[in-house]
Structure 1
Amino acid sequence: MVRRFLVSLFLLAALPGVAQAGPWPREPGGVFTSLSAERDRNGNLYSGLYAEYGLSPRNTVGVEIGRASVGETTGLIWLQRALDAGEGPNRFSASLGLGAVERDGRVHPLGQIGAGWGRGVQTRLGDGWITVEGRVKIAGGMDLAGLARGLTPTEDSYLTPETVAKAEVTFGLRPVDGLMVISQLRLERRPHEALSQKLVGSVVQDLGGPAKIELGLILPVAGPGARAVKIGTWLEF
């Protein structure tokens, strides 16, 4: 029964549409926070806190904190700047972030650069959006010794390597007021590993006021990974 519900949820979220995030800057003084958790079928758990704050019409600052059950904690502060003047249908952005990774009692510096494109769209099913975002992360002095510690390839994928390139293609749709349906393709390239490809589908429902709840399913297509479920809460004000 649960499996059937999750598959139905993913198929619903796979509908093409439009979304709101990514390259769009946060309004000055605006705040967005998200607390989420992903658990795969092997019992591995990743939990994260994400927050954005609008500094100015073009600049947004963000904070990301994550904890993996395999024994790693990451923290990142980033600044994103809109590269367009806010006119026309397309939005472009670039970002730069600095942080740290803690593993086995050692702390390693972490850097990130990113870029994104987004566009709002209108369909017969409702308004929505599409975004394409890419990021490259570099962790100084890090050796990816997960397999030497007895971790499986799937568990190893939860650890931060010295370099990793990620890309996300996201489609979002608002079929009715108070409901968002989101589908996403996640791509990840690590040194000496095959390209990881995952499909993510989720539904975001208004709870009243600034609060929302998100439920989703993550399906690996190629490379390391295991099927996982996702749950999160959003606050926006």
Structure 2
Amino acid sequence: MRLLMLLLAMVLLPGLSCAGPWPRSDGGVFLSFAVERDREGNSYTSLYGEYGWTARRTLGIELGHTNVGETSALIWLQQALGRGEGPNRYTISSGIGVIERDGEYLPLGIIGASWGRGIERLPGGGWLAVDARIKVAGKTERIAYREGMNLVEFGYLTPETTAKLDVTLGFKPWDRTMVINQLRMEDRKGEGFSAKLATSVVYEIGGPAKIEVGLVTPLRGPGEAALRIGTWLEF
């Protein structure tokens, strides 16, 4: 039933991120809907969900849309490694999906790995996590050549690889409030290396619901500072 609710919510809500190294509890559901927008009008809308398939396996779905017309959908499975003992946690993940660009649908695949541990010395207790991902998406290349009097054009699919590394430090200074700092690093073929710092405050408004307000600041590469607003549901 909870899996059905998760899938239904993702169809009804408008709408990419990476699961941390702590698997979702068996049967547990987490949903996050967020919008990032800068002063130039560029925006990114995302819907992210996790479902605890078993105690050590988490199923995830991600939907994303940019204002320039690119839409992506991804489903992935995460597996916890080790016995779950000690302070360190490790997971691996893989997934498949599709990207829609200008009416063309292209394949998408990811592999990832995560490490994390709790940090008791931070105010209210906290955590540190490192999430690495390699994403391979299809990209259409077109070649035109002449055969006699005719101009012939054909397209073929080539891989477009992106490596991502997110370092997250979070803590809970007050009972209903979390502060999350995330360094987002990305190396995209043809565009080079970029880095952003995302800082958010997440406040529990009651029951399973939380609200998120934050700022995403470019450290390297193109882009403007963006405001992030989102909602969390966990049950």
Q: Give the TM bin, normalised by the shorter chain.
A: 0.7 to 0.9
2:58 pairs, out of 60, 85, 95, with: 60
Q: For residue 220 of structure 1, what is the aligned residue in structure 2?
A: 218
Q: For residue 138 of structure 1, what is the aligned residue in structure 2?
A: 136
Alignment of 1:209 with 2:210, yes or no, is no
Alpha-carbon distance, 1:226 to partner: 1.4
Structural RMSD (CA): 1.2
Contact 1:142 1:162 in 2 (8 A): no
Q: For residue 182 of structure 1, what is the aligned residue in structure 2?
A: 180
Change (3 A) 1:124 1:38: closer
Q: For residue 167 of structure 1, what is the aligned residue in structure 2?
A: 165
Letter matched to residue 125 of structure 1: P
Q: For residue 111 of structure 2, what is the aligned residue in structure 1?
A: 113
Alpha-carbon distance, 1:57 to partner: 1.1
Give structure 1 regions of 4+ aligned residues with deviation exceeding 2 angstroms: none
Letter matched to residue 96 of structure 1: S
**What SS is found at the alignment partner of 1:195?**
strand
Alpha-carbon distance, 1:177 to partner: 0.8
Cα distance per residue 1:117-168 (max 9 Å; x no partner): 000011252200000011011112346xxxxxxxxxxxxxxxxx82111000
Q: For residue 232 of structure 1, what is the aligned residue in structure 2?
A: 230
**What SS is found at the alignment partner of 1:123?**
coil
Alpha-carbon distance, 1:69 to partner: 0.5
Q: Percent identity?
A: 58
How many residues are treated as equivalent by the alignment? Answer: 200
Q: For residue 153 of structure 1, what is the aligned residue in structure 2?
A: none
Contact 1:167 1:188 in 2 (8 A): yes
Q: Which structure 1 residue ranges, 5 or more long, are not aligned?
A: 1-20, 144-160
Bigger strand fraction: 2
Q: For residue 122 of structure 1, what is the aligned residue in structure 2?
A: 120
Q: TM-score, normalised by structure 2?
A: 0.83
Change (3 A) 1:127 1:193: same
Letter matched to residue 112 of structure 1: I
107-116 vs 186-195, which moves further: 186-195
Alignment of 1:25 with 2:23, yes or no, is yes
Contact 2:214 2:227 in 1 (8 A): yes
133-142 vs 55-64, which moves further: 133-142
Q: Which has the higher contact order (CA 8 A, sep 6+)?
A: 1
Cα distance per residue 1:94-121 (max 9 Å; x no partner): 0001000001010000000000000001
Distance (Å, rounded) in 2 between the aligned partners of 1:64 and 1:185: 20
Contact 2:134 2:161 in 1 (8 A): yes
